[in-house]
Structure 1
Amino acid sequence: MNAPQSQAAQPRVAQSTILSPGKFWGLRRMADAGGRFKMLAVDQRPPIKNRVAEARGEDRPRYGDVRAVKRALMEALAPHASAVLADPTYALSDAMTVLAPHHGLVVTLEDSVFGEGGDGRLSKAIDDWSVSKIKRAGGDAVKVLTWYHPDQDAVSRQAQLDFTKQVGEACARYDIPFLLEMLLYPLAGDTGQTKDYVEQAGKRADHVLKTVETFAAPDYGVDVFKLESPVPAKEVPPPGDGATTALFEEMGRLAGRPWVMLSAGASQDAFRNVLHYAFEAGASGFLAGRAIWWDAFQHFPDMAAMATALSGPAADYMKELNALADAKACPWTRWFDDGAEGPLRPAGWESEWMQGAYDDLEGRL
């Protein structure tokens, strides 16, 4: 395994005694053999649904179209991924048959339609969907997007904190990894106010860092962070800028556990720059969608042309990101390496899970 390139990329050891068997196994399933996350996101709903309706010239997207698009994305690109993030409404049932047995399966919990309260967005779970159902469906991890802004009104901010904490508690109860994504958004008076699922234009780095610091508290039970760039992606300079390096290193320090980068609809060139800085700062990979497949998706409703573009330029770009991760990303196991001899193993297996079985066996021998 390749060592991280900077001192900041050497993660602090703080979690070697709290990695339960279920979370240990889920993290292994999400990563490749080298411990790097190369994850494909196909759980996007408004961006895909809106584009499908627009391409058809219709007011509402057809369910079959959205499902067919997501299946095509998985068929072409999942072979290059360590895991796939799928939503239960359109993608999960096809993921069950499209994904190979070695693929990890991360499943979305949150509804794409967020509520609004005061000056803040309110996340909620999909109706009749839960952490326990994701576990029963064979998911290897639970993903949640929590909209958050440090300056949103106090009531909506507390609602977001409470929602996230409840999910973390449920993931601990069902012993499944919790992958948390946080996204800033423009408040009512901000320039570029929008409800679209896009990166906030002109976002402030201190807002991103404060958000990471908030959810890194143990109350929320986060196992892996899916983070946005502290700098708007299109403004991230080519590798080597000292100020940008410092921001990414601080973000990794605040995360304090394995973290990956999201693309948030960034261009391919911009996302490549983002990953250079992230991997230097200790990120363990990426969980990305639109940066990889958005250009190919523009061929819809010509599914044959879309499939050609997915298996060609989109797949080539994903292979490039994988190679970059192999060269620079920090294996997730480094966060749990306490220097002891032997491979990383889940904590508490014999003492908490199996002691009763051992006692019973000894009693019968």
Structure 2
Amino acid sequence: MTKYTVKDIARKSGGFAMLAVDQREAMRLMFAAAGLPKPVKDQVLTDFKVNTAKILTPFASAVLVDQQFCYDEIIKQKAVDKSCALIVAADEFIPGNGIPVDSVRIDRNVNAAQVKKEGAKALKLLVLWRQDEEPAERLEMVRDFNKICHDAGLVSIIEPVVRPPRVGDKFDREQAIIDAAKELGDSGADLYKVEMPLFGKGDAKELLKASQKLNEQINMPWVILSSGIDANLFARSVRVAMSAGASGFLAGRAVWSSVIGLPDTELMLKDISAPRLQHLASIVDEMMATR
């Protein structure tokens, strides 16, 4: 059996320049905010995801897709460039308390062996981290997910995202990111996808220091995501995080969110998003060359 490793989703430099189009209800909200008639139809999301994959995957080392809205069409249309690895989201988002993702569990409808047969090299699991929820339950879910991946010969990618506690209002996001890394940074996954400290804002020295603290807690390669970061700051965030020990990025919003709702989306993806992704990938290669 073929067993994939992180090298199979990386660039030749060894760094990761990975594109995410697995956003679900969050993407629907983005289209609604851009002025599309409500409710935004599923087909709008599917079409955008497939077009984004077709146009941008030649410039990415891997692309993360979801089964709910785009996996079948992406496979059917052969939308992913041959140079780009396929990652499938294996997380089921459970809405509640007025938000689209209130809790997460492993999506048992994602068949690891089948998606591997169809070209996938990795699975991804979102892990919501709250300080007042049971760590043992999170660890058990991650270990279960890792086993599913590794039994199938797939790469295991975990994405801990911190949330305020369910009870009380005391929430230190920066400390929570560190605490989540302490808990899950040595959990047996192959790659750790993490929120950028300080939302990528502020003084570069402060950012570097915060990223170094994060690096100390993660015992596997790690990459940053772009949610919550101003797209104009993301390139600097990649550079700073990699200076601290990160190996690249797995990002969607910083690459394509600015074209949502614009006329002629395909042209905008080519003219705006593709150069942006190419620039980010060049930073990854540049930073890996210094190691």
Q: Same fold (TM over 0.5)?
A: yes
1:158/1:256 Cα in 2 relative to 1: closer, same or farther (>3 Å)? closer
- The range that moved more, 309-318 or 35-44, is 309-318
1:107 aligned residue (88, 101, 123): 88
| Alpha-carbon distance, 1:325 to partner | 1.0
1:213/1:44 Cα in 2 relative to 1: closer, same or farther (>3 Å)? same
Q: Name the residue aligned to 1:247.
A: 210
1:77 aligned residue (56, 65, 69): 56
Instruction: Report which of the two has the higher share of strand.
Output: 2
Aligned partner of 1:186: which letter? Answer: P
Aligned residues of 1:284 and 1:330 also touching (Cα < 8 A): no
Q: Does residue 1:184 correspond to 2:128, yes or no?
A: no
| Alpha-carbon distance, 1:34 to partner | 1.7
1:47/1:58 Cα in 2 relative to 1: closer, same or farther (>3 Å)? same
Query: Larger C-alpha radius of gyration, 1 or 2?
Result: 1
Q: Does residue 1:229 correspond to 2:196, yes or no?
A: yes
Aligned partner of 2:80: which letter? Answer: L
Q: Name the residue aligned to 1:34.
A: 13
Equivalent positions of 1:1-365 (< 5 A) are 22-24=3-5, 27-53=6-32, 55-59=35-39, 61-96=40-75, 97-114=78-95, 121-126=102-107, 128-149=109-130, 151-154=131-134, 157-188=135-166, 189-190=168-169, 203-217=172-186, 220-233=187-200, 235-237=201-203, 239=204, 241=205, 243-299=206-262, 302=263, 304=264, 306-329=265-288
SS at match of 1:107: strand
CA distance in 2, matches of 1:294, 1:65: 14
| Alpha-carbon distance, 1:291 to partner | 0.8
Higher RCO, 1 vs 2 (CA within 8 Å, ≥6 residues apart): 1
CA distance in 1, matches of 2:160, 2:31: 26
CA-atom RMSD, angstroms? 2.5
* Count of paired positions: 284
CA distance in 1, matches of 2:151, 2:217: 25
Aligned residues of 1:110 and 1:145 also touching (Cα < 8 A): yes
Structure 1 residue ranges without an equivalent (≥5):
1-19, 192-201, 335-365
Aligned residues of 1:216 and 1:254 also touching (Cα < 8 A): yes
CA distance in 1, matches of 2:26, 2:103: 19
CA distance in 2, matches of 1:330, 1:283: 13
| Alpha-carbon distance, 1:121 to partner | 4.8
CA distance in 2, matches of 1:89, 1:254: 33
CA distance in 1, matches of 2:228, 2:176: 20
